[in-house]
Amino acid sequence: MNKKRSLRFLAVIGVLSLVVAACGDSGAEFEAGELGAVTVEAGEAIQIRSLNAISGEVAFLGIPNERAIRMAVEDYGQIHGHDVEVGAGLDDLCSAEGGQQAAQTIVSDEQVVGVIGTSCSGAASGAMPIINDAGLAMISASNTSPSLTSDLEGTAGENYYEGYYRTAHNDLFQGQAAANFVFNNLGLTKVGLIHDGDPYTNGLTTAFENAFEELGGEIVIHTAVTVGQTDMVPVLTEVAAAGPELIFMPIFPAEATFIVQQAPGVSGLENVEWMGADGISVENFMNLPESEGMYFSGPDTRFAENTNEATDLNGAQFLEDYESEFGEAPSADFWGHAYDATTMLLMAIEEVAVVDGDTIHIDRAELREYLTGISGFNGLIGEISCDEYGDCGAAVISIFQHNNLADHQASKSNILYTYPES
């Protein structure tokens, strides 16, 4: 952007530019790395940004992340005497172009050190090229698509960019967990899969399909609903015709609600087991009488005993704080991931910052290096270690059966299986 600075000065009233010249240079001894560095002057705040799906249908996912980020920044406190500022929460609109636009907004402020986001995997694929170009680090709390990191066997995903990290688990992991549970614990071999055309749900059903077939099971049908669809009888008829023993539908509450409510009217589904994922282990879906008895897979949220080592806060206290501040429980399961992601970033900033009197310098390349090297960090979600492609999740998937309509927390504690099996 410097190349245009001279032009931009045309727009500036000449006299006032003297003011800038006066408070120009300082900190000459610090040598910035290849990605450049951010210098935070005395009295200024360290800038990080949050980027989440905070509007529209997926706001239930993004809003708790957004809130957890702010809580973490508050709990962490100052870094080397500087405040940390998150600015207004940016919206990734849960789409690639939304992520790209927000990323552009972020990188246009050269003081920004890192980003916590995005909520949706699609948005990350739009944002990362720009975030990476600017040398920033971005940590997501809820992206799960394998294409953003790796296949967990050492091959980078097609949308992997340097500078990308996440505390959320990889879909491949959850797919494996769910497949193991269904095949080994429930002893079922014929499964029907329903996704909704979202990259996340489709990624998870595909991961399940591969894992389940490897175990020797059979996917009798892999079909889809569309977002906003209400009449589910046709799709259920299609599924019933294939004769599954269990239906795995890692979709979102609206469509899942229509499915479970209409299923009793479709012949052939009377003895089928149902299983969902973290998208529907939410209050309004679990309130439905029809959801009783369903299995849910998702990140293990028994965080009550886990303590974040950077802020000394445990999961139980977090939920207490959250409820007292916002008057409700978090609407999705990734609050712990967002909290940990934020403290990881702040800790990394604190560790790599070069203190020069009241000024600090943060080298971008070193920040990334530090994040990649994180190992054995104790967070709310458990012990966090990053691999070379940015998968940092403590990655414990648990599967519970919903057996208590009145008390969802009791249901969520009714855990039948955890993965990895210890």
Nearer to another protein, 160 or 378 (CB): 160
CB of 37 to another protein, least distance (A): 18
223 by Cβ neighbours in 10 Å (0-12 / 13-18 / 19+) ranks as middle
Nearer to another protein, 77 or 265 (CB): 265
Q: How far is CA 415 from the centre of its chain?
A: 22
DSSP tag of 58: G
3-state secondary structure of 35: coil
Q: Which stretch binds another protein (CB under 8 A): 17-25, 162-170, 211-219, 343-351?
A: 17-25
Residues numbered 368-407 forming contacts with another protein, rule: CB under 8 A: none
> Locate tokens 């445990």: which residue?
314
Can residue 26 be called a binding residue for another protein (CB under 8 A)?
A: no
Residues numbered 238-297 forming contacts with another protein, rule: CB under 8 A: 238, 240-241, 253-254, 257-258, 261-262, 264-268, 284, 288-289
Q: What would the x/- binding string for another protein be over residues 147 to 166, using CB under 8 A?
A: x----------xx-------
DSSP of 254-318? HHHHHHHHHGGGSTT-TT-EEEE-TTT-SHHHHTSGGGTT-EEEEE----TT-EETTTTEEHHHH
Nearer to another protein, 11 or 28 (CB): 11
Q: What would the x/- binding string for another protein be over residues 103 to 142, using CB under 8 A?
A: -xx-xx-------------x--xx--xx--x---------
Answer for which of 2, 5, 154, 376 binds another protein (CB under 8 A) is 5
* Beta-ladder partners of 363: 37
Q: What would the x/- binding string for another protein be over residues 178 to 217, using CB under 8 A?
A: -----------------x-xxx-xxx--------------
DSSP of 327-343? SS--SSTTHHHHHHHHH
Answer for which of 229, 385, 404, 418 binds another protein (CB under 8 A) is 229
Q: What would the x/- binding string for another protein be over residues 317 to 356, using CB under 8 A?
A: ----------------------------------------
> What H or E segment, with its residue span, contains residue 125?
helix 121-133
Q: Which stretch binds another protein (CB under 8 A): 18-26, 309-317, 340-348, 396-404?
A: 18-26
Buried b / exposed e over 142-176, threshold 16 CB at 10 Å, is bbbbbbbbbebeeebbebbbbbbbbbbbbbbbbbb
* Measured CA angle at 223 (ends 222, 228), to 5 deg: 150
- Here the tokens at position 123 are 């948005």
